[in-house]
Chains A and B, each alone.
Chain A
Amino acid sequence: MVPVKRKPIFRVETMARILIRSLAVLAILAGCARSGPLPDENKTVHYYQFSLPRDREAFDRLRTWFHEEHPEVNLQIHTLPTSSDDQHQFYLTHLGSRSLSRIDVFALDVIWLAEFARAGFLMPLDDLFPEREWEEFFPAPVQAATYDRHRYAAPLFVDAGVLYSRKDLLLKHGFAHPPKTWEELVKASRVILEREEDPSLNGFVWQGKQYEGLVCNLIEFLPSRNPFLTVAESPRLEVDRVRRALGFMRDLVVRFGVSPPSVFSMSEEESRQVFQNGRAVFMRNWPYAWRLAQQEGSPVKDRVWLSPLPAFAGDASGGKGALGGFLLGIHPESPAREEARAWVRFLASPRAQRVLWQDLGLTPARRTVFPDLPSRGIPLDVLRQVMESAVPRPASPLYIPISQSVQAYGSGALAGVYPIDRAIRHIESDMGRIMRVMH
């Protein structure tokens, strides 16, 4: 094609000039944002945490209080996306090349603790509180903060799996209280499903998508409080327990027909939508769903019971929720160590814990604040009972890679891609490789 003189659409040169100019302006702007009087970096605490809706107001208040106590400390709060995986990747990158990072205090998911402690991202905080004060926290988060006999973090808030039941449906069909055993739950679901004859109603929804939540659910279906992974010299999979839990989870869908096959793609929100729209009798979820189910306009408002998760009949240790929540760690190379410790102590203090609960709905990790806690409409006694009996996930530095494998093959076994025994063999062979690589 011989180039024909076409009418120019816009003059390229003009465009280029505009672009160059705007770039220059941007560069200058970026420069300005960085300059200004620099506060004393040794008195500055850079705090990183997940973001939450409306966290700004709560943290503004906390910051003001903290400043009253420690006027010399300059506090910088940075927020990260709420997804735990995104944060994990962020911290790996930023803390991985250490001398470069300036993260003094950070909120870490309970499952990262052992990994970060082994990596040297955390300094021991045994003496942050006197022993008596450590006991004011729920045991599970303190246990989760412990690695190799040292406490590497302070609890920020706790979470654990709970059971939501449809009060109205249960009462209507003669069940006076939420089920205490899984067997009762299955029976109640079947009875109600049968009598209601509503094709859009499901029995029990939980989280079976291939993600970390699947492992939390798995823990809650274990036959006892014993872990599915023994963390000794080298982690070992407790094959029998895993087989039983996976078997029961699959049975819920396939044999008992109380859970829809779509639980295999549900994370928290998908199951909550189903439950909140009145399409499920029972739901396993975290306490966050309570406020949403009870809000004005919710189809199930005032028709829900909150209770601890059931146990298997004959399991004396009772039901248990998998522990979630976040801890507060301090980077060992922080130049503002004392200031950082002060901030961590402050966030774990009863006063701050109360604000986090009141403004953001984060369950206090310090159980001593419970007696005079405003209830926010949630049955606090149930909440406290659930947190008392929560079980942490296995505290292995290799937890995340192992969990990856459990998620993948566990999900395969649930969806019926292969038998459970084969899934377990796959997990074990993955673990073998992980341990060889990480040695």
Chain B
Amino acid sequence: MKRALNIFFLLAMGIWSLGPFVWQWLTSVKDPAAVSRIPPLLPDMPIWTNYASVLQNREFMRVIGNSLAVSLGALGVALIVGSLGAFGISRFLNRRKHLALLTLLVVFMIPPVSVVTPFYSLLVRLRLMDTLAGLILIDSVFCVPLVVWVMVQVFDEIPDSLYRAARVDGCPAWTIFRRIYLPLGQSGLISAGLLCLMFCWNEFLFALTFTSTYAARTIPVGITLFSGQFEFPWGEISAATSLVTFPLLLIVVFAQRYLVRGLAGSGLKG
């Protein structure tokens, strides 16, 4: 009974998570002329031309690199600025803490459409149009509040006595932050970082507006460039996404134990 239930659960979960993904992969190896035809569900012979054409597309490889660079870059900026800020807010702003956090939350809530135009002017003035640095800057604007928000919760849990004891010993705040707070908060950093990564990885509107060459285009924009004027080449797009997803999948499978352990120790569990 228990075993059957277990298998049922596994199956349900597998179909739910993997089904669409497998379907996408099948699409990528189907004959392009009959890609939308069902039945048959399975192609007679896998056709790898879609992969060949994606792999030969040097620009797309560049796009993957850009996406990684932008995500990691914004992540780095957000983690550094965010954890510093969270420490400051958690330790120094007593009465104004709520206000600061709410302000940051509002920043995070701004719909991107409304700030596209002012950000555009800003990036042009900073000469950061069509650069990775420009996208990193804009993306981290939305990531920092997230990190602060999570990290303040984590830092608030660290007993005050620890901080004061260190203060009495003459430790400067910077050292306390580095030696005590950061090590204790690393699990929080992981979970906050995860949320940031996801934001940057998916971000489309800024990446579209602030880039005009392959110098800084990211995956969501890169994928739209495969399209014809009306034609949506499913085979190639599926191949491209499969290619993008596989390495990530490996990373996720490998890293999830750290992720979960990190999350489990974070302020997110309260």
Contacts and interface: CB of A to CB of B under 8 A. Distances in A.
* A touching B, CB within 8 angstroms: yes
A16 B117 contact: no
A23 B131 contact: no
A33 B131 CA distance: 9
B145 interface: no
A288 B208 contact: no
B121 interface: yes
Contacts of A288: 228-231
Interface stretch (A293-301, A302-310, A385-393, A408-416): A293-301
Contacts of B183: 8, 12
Interface string B209-232: 100110100000100111111111
B221 to A, nearest CB: 6
A26 interface: yes
B77 interface: yes
Contacts of B117: 93, 96-97
B131 A30 contact: yes
A94 B120 CA distance: 8
Interface stretch (A79-87, A137-145, A431-439): A79-87
A13 B73 CA distance: 16
B34 A299 contact: yes
A53 B233 contact: yes
A3 B157 CA distance: 9
Interface string B77-95: 1011000000000000000
A277 B124 contact: no
Interface string A256-272: 00000000000111001
Contact of A89 (B75, B208, B258, B262): B208
B37 interface: yes
A13 B182 contact: yes
B116 A93 contact: yes
B133 A30 contact: yes
A228 B121 CA distance: 38
A23 B77 contact: yes
B73 A82 contact: no
Contacts of A2: 159
B33 interface: yes
A52 B33 contact: no
Interface string A143-179: 0000000000000000100000000000000000000
Contacts of A342: none
Nearest to B221: A81
A195 interface: no
Contacts of B75: 19
B256 to A, nearest CB: 13
A22 B184 contact: no
Contacts, number: 143
Nearest to B57: A56
B229 A26 contact: no
Contacts of B182: 12-13
Given A12-B182, A81-B225, A269 B230 contact: yes
Interface in B199-255: 208-209, 212-213, 215, 221, 224-233, 236
A298 B132 CA distance: 42
A374 B211 CA distance: 37
B107 interface: no
Contact of A100 (B124, B158, B184): B124
B227 A34 contact: no
Interface in A161-218: none
A382 interface: no
B132 A292 contact: no
A286 interface: yes
B146 interface: no
B34 to A, nearest CB: 6
Contacts of B213: 78
Given A6-B187, A50-B229, 10 more contacts: A23-B73, A23-B76, A26-B132, A33-B215, A48-B212, A90-B209, A94-B120, A268-B231, A276-B36, A298-B34
Interface of A: 1-3, 6, 8-10, 12-13, 16, 19-20, 22-23, 26-27, 29-30, 33-34, 48, 50-53, 78-83, 86, 89-90, 93-94, 96-97, 100, 159, 267-269, 272-273, 276-277, 285-286, 288-289, 292, 295-299, 301
28 contacts: A3-B159, A3-B162, A9-B190, A9-B258, A9-B261, A12-B189, A20-B76, A23-B73, A27-B133, A29-B132, A33-B215, A34-B131, A52-B228, A53-B227, A53-B231, A53-B236, A82-B225, A93-B116, A97-B117, A97-B120, A100-B124, A100-B125, A277-B36, A285-B230, A286-B229, A288-B230, A299-B34, A299-B37
**When A and B form their complex, which 3 residue pairs have the shortest distance between CB atoms, in order from nearest?**
A297-B33, A19-B76, A273-B36
